[in-house]
């Protein structure tokens, strides 16, 4: 049997979007993909992300916010930046690591304008569902360039 692909989901603070992507990937693609998440910085695990993932049947409550440096000894096949800031700040990775970009809206930023807790959570739910739809395309979806590292400046 082939070894699973190692995929890192990279975001600014590893608190929400990258955590959801790791959770969905482990849940839906665990045999084919070994999922990781990290941030350019660490912002702590977002409780609303934990809550909406639990609503969908995925427990990420045991995750923690990790800095990219904590995974420096892991060789990744793919790095998927899930926010524009991480994409712009993404370091170069050695070897054959391919970098792709798939931007998702920032639920905490969107939730600041919400008039109620339910409205705020709806932003998290929408992004959660968009991330799930993306993860469902993996690993084949990684073969189609989302936005390759060569296009970054």
What is the per-residue pLDDT across 87-133, written as a single tens digit (0 to 9) for each? 787 777 777 889 999 999 999 999 999 999 999 999 999 999 999 99
Q: Check residue 151 and give its pLDDT.
A: 38
% pLDDT > 90, the chain:
73
Instruction: Using the predicted structure, report yes or no on whether residue 86 has a pLDDT greater than 90.
Output: no
- Alpha-carbon distance 23 to 108, whole Å? 18
The residue among 57 and 31 whose pLDDT is bigger is 57
Residue range 39-61: average pLDDT? 96
Instruction: Using the predicted structure, report yes or no on whether residue 152 has a pLDDT greater than 60.
Output: no
13-27, 55-69, 130-144: range with lowest mean pLDDT: 130-144
Q: Which of 10, 11, 20, 131 is catalytic?
A: 11
Two structure tokens written together for 18:
């990258």
- Specify whether 16 is catalytic: no
- Alpha-carbon distance 18 to 81, whole Å? 8
- Alpha-carbon distance 3 to 11, whole Å? 25
19-23, 47-51, 90-94, 149-153: range with lowest mean pLDDT: 149-153
What are the domain boundaries of the chain?
Answer: 5-151
Residue range 132-136: average pLDDT? 97
Give 120-130 pLDDT, tens digit per residue: 999 999 999 99
Question: Does residue 91 contact residue 81 with C-beta atoms inside 8 Å?
Answer: no
Q: Among 1.10.3470.10, 3.30.9.10, 3.40.50.2300, 3.60.15.10, name the CATH number for the domain at 5-151.
A: 3.40.50.2300
Residue range 133-138: average pLDDT? 96
Q: Which of 90, 110, 146, 149 is catalytic?
A: 90
Mean pLDDT score across all residues of the chain: 90
What lies within 8 Å, CB to CB, of 133 at 6+ separation is none
- Alpha-carbon distance 29 to 150, whole Å? 27
Q: Which of 83, 121, 131, 138 is catalytic?
A: 83
């Amino acid at each position: 049997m082939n070894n699973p692909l190692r995929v890192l989901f990279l975001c600014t603070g590893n608190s929400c979007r990258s955590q959801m992507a790791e959770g969905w990937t482990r849940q839906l693609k665990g045999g084919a993909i070994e999922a990781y998440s990290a941030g350019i910085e660490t912002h702590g695990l977002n409780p609303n992300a934990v809550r909406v993932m639990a609503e969908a049947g995925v427990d990420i409550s045991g995750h923690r916010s990790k800095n990219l440096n904590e995974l420096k000894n892991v060789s990744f096949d793919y790095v998927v930046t899930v926010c524009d800031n991480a994409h712009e700040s993404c370091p170069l990775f050695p070897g054959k690591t391919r970098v792709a970009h798939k931007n998702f809206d920032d639920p905490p930023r969107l939730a600041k304008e919400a008039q109620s807790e339910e409205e705020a959570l709806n932003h998290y739910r929408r992004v959660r569902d968009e991330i799930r739809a993306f993860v469902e395309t993996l690993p084949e979806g990684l073969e189609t360039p989302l936005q390759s590292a060569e296009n970054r400046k």
